[in-house]
Structure 1
Amino acid sequence: MQRLLAILPFILFAVASSAQQDPLYSQYLNNPVLLNPANAGLNNRLNAVAGYRLQWAGFDGSPTTLNFSTHTSLVQNKVGAGIMVVQDKIGDTKITETSSLYAYKIELNDDRVLSFGLQAGIINYRNDAANLNPKDAGDPLFGFVNETKFNIGAGVVLKSERFMVGFSVPRLTPTTVNPSGTQNVEIYGRTFYLMGAYMLYLTESIQLKPSLLLRATANAPLSADINFNLNLEENYTLGLFTRNFNVVGYLAQINVKDYRIGYVFEVPTNASVGARFTTHEVSIGISLAAFAYHNRQRSNF
């Protein structure tokens, strides 16, 4: 029962927000297929990225998100394909999404590409509230739930070496489960994403990349991420961002040839919440020219 009381705030938060919020990512520019399938193979290379996010560090049962994706450009860079796995966990609730990705690319000119993407897969919802050791073990509220739903999403991206803008809906229909057997509960709503970024060349070795991510979901406030990343000598990146001006985050990233590792530290700006609600996110990625028609150099986007 003590464990139940300890993580009850997280359960209430999950119930209140699950229908309004997809998993959050601070390093979405490093793994944009998490938000938009049209990014699959868009940089004309073979890519693999793994990430881990821990919210509210130090709290038992705090939310965590694991993600992995791999995608590549195929057919002389005309199409992109890949797979993506995301696992979102809070308390004893675990949501695992597995998706296949497909993108068709149209070269508008030597520099600009328009990409249309689709994703299709399954979302598994698993909850074993009996692990909370309730007083009444037979209470249906603390039963075991394991449901799997089909999901489809879509997106479009326009990009060049100087800019990128994309729009996507990773879940075209809301995802619902029926844990009690009598009433559906929405775990993921339909969220619309609008993302844009631009590369400013300050000097030959220093570039500034401002970006904006907007999230819109029915019955939820509009959410916005404002990012500023500074690239140094093509090997180092320092970043600063805010989410709804309620959270401030700091990014540090190292690029060594085709490999990359990044770390983000987030802290709320609301003094009443306190700095103890920190969030940590780490990602590791690789980008290779695996085929003869792949780009030899990394793309800005």
Structure 2
Amino acid sequence: MKKLTALIIVAACLQAQAQQKPHYTQYILNQYILNPALTGIENYTDIKVSHRHQWAGVQDAPVTTYVTIHTPINKKDYRTTATSFEVPGENPRGKRYWEEYTAAEPHHGVGLQVINDRTGPLNYFSAYATYAYHIGLSARTSLAAGFGAGFTNIGLNANKLDFGNVQVDPAVYNNGLINTTKPDFMAGLYLYSGDYFIGLAAQQIIPQKVSFSDNAVKTNNGKIVPHLFATAGYRFLLDEDFNVIPSVMVKYVQPMPVQLDVNAKLQYRDVAWMGVGYRYEDGFSAMVGMNVSHRFNIGYSYDYTTSGLNIVSKGSHEIMVGFLLGNKYDDGCPRNVW
């Protein structure tokens, strides 16, 4: 819709008051996309591929695709005896498993994130290399600190800036594809155990001005602004086969109001899960997923919009596919991230 595109241009190009990082409904399945401190948190190489179509039915609405990969370095495996392996007929994520959970041995992690986010005439392409260090604080609790460094390329397709009778800045109109590239940095902390997690992260740490006019005319520059994320969750064992993990994410982007996401995920053994969520003043979500052969997993989520956009939006769809490489202990689901 041209009106939506016009609003995006005004908000993002002139004052950049709107959020510049994508939404992720299934962030609980890949918190690494928010927080580099999770780099190398598991015993295997974790690969995630995700595609999100937000506000389906609205022309030029956001479309986000990403690939992440991270792996531990010099991590000692937590399996020490033959009895540590899955016992036939016993839930590998049951009560005994969590009773025997131990903190991480000190180790490093390295990773890579590649993200493409397109909204109307604007396209954000980002790539980051990440590093984290994990250390045990007590018998069951670990702390990780991580950072990421990379770049963001912001592209403006000026050929889409046709709003009929609306005046468009001649410095960019009909100039084809205009790109600007900026260095980008992120950092985070992650406290985790067998029962809970607490994460703090900052993306786009260094504010930077963005202009597509190359100073050809005097304009109000846009600005890349920091995004702050706080996440927390707790695991409740309902019985030997089921556990439920309520979680929350708080996001702050100045000068926008704080955004609150509340979620709950029900896990059956290490085989399948379903969940529901609520994003304050925006909508509800539902997700479902399963693990296949301890090497592959897939998740899908749907968002129902309750804001004014529900008049034209058919909701948001997000699919995530994961691969577990080097998973020699046949973990069906993550041990430290849920």
Question: Paired residue for 1:265, among 274, 284, 302?
Answer: 302
User: C-alpha separation between the residues in 2 aligned to 1:19 and 1:261?
Assistant: 34
Report the CA distance between 1:132 and its aligned residue.
4.3
Structure 1 match to 2:28: 29
Report the CA distance between 1:245 and its aligned residue.
4.1
Report the CA distance between 1:287 and its aligned residue.
2.2
Q: Is the 8 A contact 2:15 2:222 kept in 1?
A: no
Q: Is the 8 A contact 1:210 1:227 kept in 2?
A: yes
User: C-alpha separation between the residues in 1 aligned to 2:15 and 2:246?
Assistant: 28
SS in 2 for 1:8: helix
Q: Is the 8 A contact 2:14 2:221 kept in 1?
A: no
> How is 1:80-229 mapped onto 2 (pairs within 5 angstroms)?
80-132=109-161, 139-142=170-173, 143=175, 144-180=177-213, 181=215, 182-183=218-219, 185-229=221-265
User: C-alpha separation between the residues in 2 aligned to 1:276 and 1:29?
Assistant: 24
- C-alpha deviations, 1:17-69, integer Å up to 9, x for none? 84442211111121111111000111232100011111111222111111110
Q: Which amino acid aligns with 2:297?
A: R
Higher strand share: 1
Structure 2 match to 1:57: 56
Q: Is the 8 A contact 2:267 2:273 kept in 1?
A: yes
Structure 2 match to 1:282: 319
- C-alpha deviations, 1:126-184, integer Å up to 9, x for none? 11212445789993242342111001111000111211111011221124311122446
Q: Is the 8 A contact 2:71 2:110 kept in 1?
A: yes
Structure 2 match to 1:8: 6
The verdict on how the C-alpha distance between 1:184 and 1:69 changes in structure 2, with shifts beyond 3 A counting, is farther
Deviates more, 1:170-179 or 1:90-99: 170-179
User: C-alpha separation between the residues in 2 aligned to 1:20 and 1:73?
Assistant: 35
Q: Is the 8 A contact 1:170 1:191 kept in 2?
A: yes
Residue 230 (structure 1) aligned with residue 263 (structure 2): no
User: C-alpha separation between the residues in 2 aligned to 1:226 and 1:138?
Assistant: 41
User: C-alpha separation between the residues in 2 aligned to 1:130 and 1:161?
Assistant: 52
SS in 2 for 1:44: coil
Q: Where does structure 2 lack aligned partners over 5 or more consecutive residues? A: 77-106
The verdict on how the C-alpha distance between 1:233 and 1:137 changes in structure 2, with shifts beyond 3 A counting, is closer
Deviates more, 1:92-101 or 1:70-79: 70-79
The verdict on how the C-alpha distance between 1:81 and 1:217 changes in structure 2, with shifts beyond 3 A counting, is same
Q: Is the 8 A contact 2:17 2:256 kept in 1?
A: no
Q: Is the 8 A contact 2:132 2:145 kept in 1?
A: yes
User: C-alpha separation between the residues in 2 aligned to 1:272 and 1:81?
Assistant: 39
Report the CA distance between 1:230 and its aligned residue.
0.6
Deviates more, 1:174-183 or 1:217-226: 174-183
- C-alpha deviations, 1:69-112, integer Å up to 9, x for none? 00000123500101001111011211101000000111223422
The verdict on how the C-alpha distance between 1:207 and 1:185 changes in structure 2, with shifts beyond 3 A counting, is farther
Q: Which amino acid aligns with 1:115?
A: A
User: C-alpha separation between the residues in 2 aligned to 1:197 and 1:87?
Assistant: 28
Q: Is the 8 A contact 2:57 2:312 kept in 1?
A: no
The verdict on how the C-alpha distance between 1:100 and 1:271 changes in structure 2, with shifts beyond 3 A counting, is closer
Deviates more, 1:225-234 or 1:270-279: 270-279
Q: Is the 8 A contact 1:55 1:277 kept in 2?
A: no
Residue 40 (structure 1) aligned with residue 39 (structure 2): yes
Q: Is the 8 A contact 2:5 2:121 kept in 1?
A: no
Report the CA distance between 1:272 and its aligned residue.
7.6
Structure 2 match to 1:249: 285
The verdict on how the C-alpha distance between 1:250 and 1:188 changes in structure 2, with shifts beyond 3 A counting, is farther
Q: Is the 8 A contact 2:15 2:220 kept in 1?
A: no
Report the CA distance between 1:269 and its aligned residue.
2.3
